[in-house]
Structure 1
Amino acid sequence: MRLLLIEDTARLRELLIESVHSAGWRIDAFGTCAEAEEAVASTAYDLLLFDLGLPDGDGIDLIRALRRQGHHTPILILTARAAIDERIAGLDAGADDYLVKPFNHGEFLARCRALLRRSPETAPPVLVAGRLVFDPATGVMTCEGQDLALTPRERAIAEILMREADKAVPKRKLEHALSEFDSDVSTNAVELAVSRLRKKLGAVEAQVALETIRGLGYLLREVEG
C-alpha cells in the first residue's frame, strides 16, 4: 500500500509518517499543492491524505481539481477546520472522509483502513502463502487465524516475498523497502530482518520456507507440513 500525505507542518508530518509506517504501509510526504499535483501525476497511490491550509493554495481547490481530472483515489482530509460548513465543503469537493486536528492516531489509522477497504477498485487483494494470510489494506498478517507480531520492517519484507512467492527477490529490492522506514539502513539490515522473520514463521509452522539465494536475494515458497 502506498499513501500520499500533504501536510505543511513538519512535526505533524513526521508523526503521521511514523503512524503509517507502523501499519506497514509506504508513504510519500510533501508540504505543498504543487508537490501533490506532481506526485499524483507520476505515481499510483492507494490513499491521499490532504491538509487544507497549504502555503501555495487551498486543499479544497486541489481536491476539486483532482476529481475533475478523473482521479478516483480515496481522499482523507486532515485539518483544523472544524466547522460543520467546512466539513460539508470538503466532502462536497470530493473527499471521502474528514478528520479534525488534533486527532487520535489510532482513529487516524482506522479511518485509513476503512477507506482502503471501501472501494473495490482500490482494495488490494489478500495475499496467501502456505498458512500465511496478509491483508495489505489492514497491514495484518495471520497464520491459522492468529495475528503475527511483526515489526514494520518484517511486515514489509514478508509482503514483498508473498507477492512474489516462488520467485527470487533481489536483496536490493528489500533494501529499498526498508529505506522507506529508515533512511539510514545498515548493510546487514535486510539479513537481520529476514533472520527474525524466518524464526517467527518457523515458530508458528506457517508451512513456508524463506530461502536465501546466494548472490541474489531471497525466495519464499510453500512447503508441506
Structure 2
Amino acid sequence: MATISSTYQSYEIPVTSALVATSDPKLLSLLSMALRQTGIEVQEFQTLSGIPENADTYRLFVVDGDIKPGNAIELSRDLRRQQSTVDAAIVLLSFDEAIDAYDAGVDMVMAKPVSINLFMARIRSILRRYNSFR
C-alpha cells in the first residue's frame, strides 16, 4: 500500500507499483521520484519495448506519447484488452493526442511540459477513484 497525501487528507491506496515510460531522462527521473515519495514502487522504461510482457505487474501506467519505438496509443489499447490490466490507471503525457488517447482507454491526458504539482494532484485524483472501486 502507498500513502497519498494532499492538503485535505491522507489515505492508503492499493496501487503499489507503477510504470513510467519516457525517452526524456530528466522527465523520467522527476516523475519517478514524485511517485516514489508516496511509497509507490516505480519501474522506469525509456522505450516501449518489453512493456506488454510485464504489464500485469503494474496498476498505474504513465506513458509519454512521444516515446519511440512503439506507439503509446496502441499500448493503451493493448492494456485495456488484457484481463490483468483492464482496470489499471493510465496517464498519457502528450502535446496533441488527447482524442485518440481517450478513445484508446487512457484515464487522463496531460499536456507537456508537465507541472509536477499538477501531475501529482491528478495522480491523487485517479488513485482516489481507483480506490473507490476496490
TM-score of the two chains, using structure 2 as the length reference: 0.78
**Percent identity for Structure 1 against Structure 2:** 32
Q: What is the match of residue 112 of structure 2?
A: 101
**Bigger Rg, structure 1 or 2:** 1
The answer to whether the Cα contact below 8 Å between 1:6 and 1:36 also exists between their aligned partners in 2 is no
Match of 2:88 in 1: 73
Q: CA deviation at 1:40?
A: 0.8
For residues 189-204 of structure 1, the aligned pairs below 5 Å read none
TM-aligned CA deviation for residue 46 of structure 1: 2.4
The aligned counterpart of 1:115 is 126
Structure 2: runs of 5+ lacking an equivalent: 1-15
Q: Distance in 2 between matches of 1:33 and 1:8?
A: 9
Aligned pairs, how many? 117
2:74 maps to which of 33, 43, 61: 61
1: CA distance, partners of 2:50 / 2:133: 23
RMSD, matched Cα: 1.8
TM-score (norm 1): 0.48
1:31-85 per-residue CA deviation (whole Å, 9 max, x = no partner) reads 22222213214x2x22111111222211001111121223220101112x23xxx
Which one of 33, 39, 42 corresponds to residue 18 of structure 1?
33
Q: What is the DSSP-based 3-state SS (H/G/I as helix, E as strand, rest coil) of the residue aligned with 2:109?
A: strand
Structure 1 regions of 5+ residues with no counterpart? 124-225
Distance of 2:38 and 2:47 partners within structure 1: 25
Using CA pairs under 8 Å that are at least 6 residues apart, name the structure with larger relative contact order, 1 or 2.
2
**Secondary structure of residue in 2 paired with 1:57:** coil
Q: Does 1:28 align with 2:43?
A: yes
